[in-house]
Amino acid sequence: MNIILFGPPGAGKGTQAKYLVTKFNGFQISTGEILRNEIEKQSEIGKKIINDMNEGKFVNDEIVNKLIEKNIYDPQKKNKLIFDGYPRSLNQAKNLELLLKNSDQKIDFIFFLNVNKDIIIKRIEKRKILEKRSDDELNTILKRYETYMQTTKPVLDFYSKNTNFYEIDGSTEIDKITAKIDAFLNV
C-alpha cells in the first residue's frame, strides 16, 4: 500500500501519516523532515536549502527529487510508502510516477486534506509554541500558504482526475479525519 497525503502546511498530514505508518507497518516519507535533517547535519545540501526553508519557499525540485529517490528504491520500504509533503509540484509528481514505475510500484490512495487559510494559521501558531520550529513565524506561514496554493494547484489538478483521489475535510478533529481515511481505505 503506497499512500500520498496531500494538503497545505498545517493540514494534519504528519499526524495522519503517523497513524497510517502504524496501521500498515509503513514508512513515513516526509520531505520536510528529511530537509530539516539535512540542515541539522549541516550537510552541503543543508547549507544550500536553509535560506529557502526559513523564508517559507519551496526547496528546488532537483534536490528534493534526489533525496526522495533512495526511499522509493529501498526494498524494505517497497509498497509501504506513506508520502507526507511530497509531491508538491508538477515536476515532483511526474518524478514520483517515474520512480514508482521503475521500481514496479504504484500509488494506491491519494488523500487531499483540505483546510482553509484561517484554520491553518491557528494550527501552525500552536505548533510553533509546541515544537519551536524556526520556519513557523507568521509571515513565513502566510508565505508557505501562498507558495502552496501557487505551486501545488497544478498537482491537485493532476491528481484529482484519478479514481483513487479522495478529498477530506481537514478542518475537523484528528479522529474524524482518521475515520474518513479508514472508510475510504476499506471501500
Binding site for ligand AMP (CB under 6 A): 9, 31-32, 35, 52-53, 56-59, 64, 85-86, 88, 92, 144
Contact (CB, 8 A) for 26 and 74: no
d(CA 11, CA 76): 28
Closest to ligand AMP by CB, 35 vs 115, is 35
Closest to ligand AMP by CB, 26 vs 32, is 32
Rounded to a whole number of angstroms, the minimum distance from the CB of residue 26 to ligand AMP is 17
Contact (CB, 8 A) for 90 and 154: yes
Question: What is the residue type of 134?
Answer: S
* No. of helices (H) and no. of strands (E), the chain: 8, 5
Rounded to a whole number of angstroms, the minimum distance from the CB of residue 151 to ligand AMP is 8
Question: Which residue has its beta carbon closest to ligand AMP?
Answer: 32
Rounded to a whole number of angstroms, the minimum distance from the CB of residue 186 to ligand AMP is 27
Q: Grid cell 520512480 — which residue?
A: 99
